[in-house]
């Protein structure tokens, strides 16, 4: 099969090209084989390719197949599986930039009937991550004001919609007019451009009569700026570092004391390993919003066709051109035959 196979870290993602490698094999009789139709392009993939992610120190070392979010069609599964051949599914896990993948059942979910494979891929785990961060960790409530940093990104556009769905007022922080239109389109009440001097003061002025916001959702690694936006005893949850290029922020911790704020880190994967029930509750809560029509997938406008387009898509993410989620079309979509039989 074709795949973006990393045998050594690259300094320039434009050097990435598909190569032919053996098809994936089952490690267990319960494994599920999937034909990948779409793969998402995330900031994590960009860091993995360059060896700049914290996981590259131990868990993600060459050789490996790049890509962490995908959608596709089941081609083989055990008789006891909830996903018979022909079922459309989406999931997360290393190896998404390939024509096929072999995974365990708990790592995948059925594509909602109202979504295409591309749409399910665009949301991926971002929905559960954002729901867990805002609802389970930060305890966002109706009537509160939340600021979403990196609101136009893959995590951010879903976070905006989740916050609106629970009745919060949302301030979206983005860079540029086009991205501002995107976040307004998914429900942001106010939009602030971080490229304008004094943007933190602008955000604070918009929250609680000028006292600051109740919650900050930080997907870019700007904790100190986020604290400036908070009211006294506000809450900030960190979910990623998309704006930091692998370099972490040095935080002046006296700011936490002086404003009496709470700063949380939410590591979705580690939470899944340590507390599976909490993660199940997070997924169930998010999927309830999906079923209620509260979540709209946002796919970046560029058409990335084939694994040959991975390098171009990653470069667009690196240059911060993309909004929503850039999605690679690996092959043509196949209809879910299980749904078709149900209709018949």
pLDDT, residue 272, reads 87
- Residue-level pLDDT at 344: 33
**Do 34 and 69 lie in a common domain?**
yes
220, 243 contact by CB (below 8 A): yes
Q: Which residues pair with 23 in a beta bridge?
A: none
- Strands 2-3 and 5-6, how do they pair? unpaired
In a domain, 339, yes or no: yes
Which pLDDT does position 246 carry in this prediction? Answer: 62
Whether residues 242 and 176 fall in one domain:
yes
Using alpha carbons, list the distances in angstroms from residue 272 to 58, 135, 239. 19, 16, 14
Instruction: Return d(Cα 9, Cα 48) in angstroms, integer.
Output: 8
Residues 97, 197: one domain? Answer: no
Same domain, 61 and 149: no
Q: What is the dihedral of CA 284, 290, 291, 292, to 10 degrees?
A: 110
Q: Please say whether the beta carbons of 101 and 36 come within 8 A.
A: yes
Burial class from Cβ neighbours inside 10 Å (0-12, 13-18, 19+) for residue 202 reads middle
pLDDT at 207: 95
Give the C-alpha separation, 304 to 135, whole Å: 33
pLDDT value at residue 196: 93
Q: Do residues 90 and 6 share a domain?
A: yes
Say whether both 110 and 134 belong to one domain: no
Would residue 289 count as lying in a domain?
A: no
Same domain for 162 and 259, yes or no, is yes
- Report the predicted TM-score, pTM, of the whole model to 2 decimal places: 0.92
Specify the pLDDT at position 252. Answer: 83
Q: Could you give the CA distance from residue 245 to residue 52 in angstroms, rounded to a whole number?
A: 8
Q: Are residues 140 and 186 in the same domain?
A: yes
Task: Looking at the structure, tell me whether residues 55 and 187 fall in a common domain.
Answer: no
CATH of the domain at 207: 3.90.180.10
What per-residue confidence (pLDDT) applies to 287?
A: 96
Residue where a domain terminates, one of 270, 288, 311: 270
Q: What is the span of the domain harbouring residue 64?
A: 2-115+297-343
Task: Verify that 133 and 107 share a domain, yes or no.
Answer: no
Question: Is there a domain that residue 282 lies in?
Answer: no
The answer to whether residues 196 and 244 belong to one domain is: yes
If asked whether residues 141 and 231 sit together in one domain, one would say yes
Q: How many domains does the chain have?
A: 2
Q: Is residue 283 part of a domain?
A: no
Q: Give the Cα separation of 285 and 344 in Å (integer).
A: 31
The DSSP 8-state label assigned to residue 14 in this structure reads G
CA angle (286 as vertex; 281, 287 as ends), nearest 5: 100
Is 280 part of a structural domain of the chain? no
pLDDT at 335: 52
d(Cα 89, Cα 285) in Å, to the nearest integer? 19
82 part of a folded domain: yes
pLDDT digits (tens, 9 = 90+) for 259-298: 999 999 999 888 888 999 999 999 999 999 999 999 999 9
- pLDDT mean by block of 10 residues, the chain; 344 residues: 96 94 91 97 94 88 96 96 97 96 95 96 96 97 98 97 98 97 98 95 95 96 94 96 72 89 92 91 96 97 96 95 97 56 36
Considering the domain boundaries, does residue 287 fall inside one? no
> Does a structural domain hold residue 149?
yes
Q: What is the DSSP string of 222-265?
A: -HHHHHHHEEEEEEEEE---TTSTTPPP---THHHHHHT-EEEE
Torsion angles phi and psi, residue 30, rounded to 5: -95, 0
């Amino acid at each position: 099969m074709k795949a973006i196979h990393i045998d050594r870290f690259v300094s320039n993602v434009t050097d990435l090209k598909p190569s032919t490698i053996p098809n994936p094999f089952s490690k267990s009789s319960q494994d599920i084989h999937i034909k990948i139709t779409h793969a998402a392009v995330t900031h994590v993939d960009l860091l993995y390719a360059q060896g700049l992610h914290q996981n590259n120190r131990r868990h993600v070392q060459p050789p490996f197949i790049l890509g962490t979010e995908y959608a596709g069609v089941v081609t083989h599964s055990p008789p006891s599986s909830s996903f018979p051949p022909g079922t459309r599914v989406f999931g997360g896990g290393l190896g998404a930039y390939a024509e096929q993948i072999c995974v365990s059942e708990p790592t995948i979910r059925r594509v909602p009937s109202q979504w295409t494979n591309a749409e399910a891929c665009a949301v991926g785990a971002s929905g559960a991550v954002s729901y867990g961060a805002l609802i389970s960790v930060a305890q966002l409530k109706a009537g509160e004001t939340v600021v979403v940093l990196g609101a136009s990104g893959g995590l951010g556009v879903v976070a905006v919609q989740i916050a609106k769905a629970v009745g919060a007022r949302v301030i979206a922080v983005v860079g540029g007019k086009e991205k501002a239109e995107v976040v307004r389109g998914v429900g942001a009440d106010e939009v602030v451009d971080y490229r304008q001097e004094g943007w933190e003061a602008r955000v604070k002025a918009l929250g609680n009569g000028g006292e600051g916001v109740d919650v900050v959702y930080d997907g870019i690694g700007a904790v100190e700026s986020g604290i400036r936006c908070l009211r006294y005893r506000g809450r900030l949850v960190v979910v990623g570092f998309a704006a930091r290029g692998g370099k972490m922020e040095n935080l002046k911790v006296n700011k936490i004391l002086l404003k009496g704020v709470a700063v949380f880190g939410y590591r979705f994967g580690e939470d899944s390993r340590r507390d599976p029930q909490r993660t199940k509750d997070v997924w169930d809560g998010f999927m309830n919003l999906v079923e209620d029509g509260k979540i709209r997938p946002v796919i970046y406008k560029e058409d990335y066709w084939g694994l040959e387009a991975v390098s171009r898509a990653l470069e667009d993410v690196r240059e911060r051109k993309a909004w929503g989620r850039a999605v690679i079309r690996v092959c043509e979509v196949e209809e879910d035959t299980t749904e078709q039989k149900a209709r018949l």
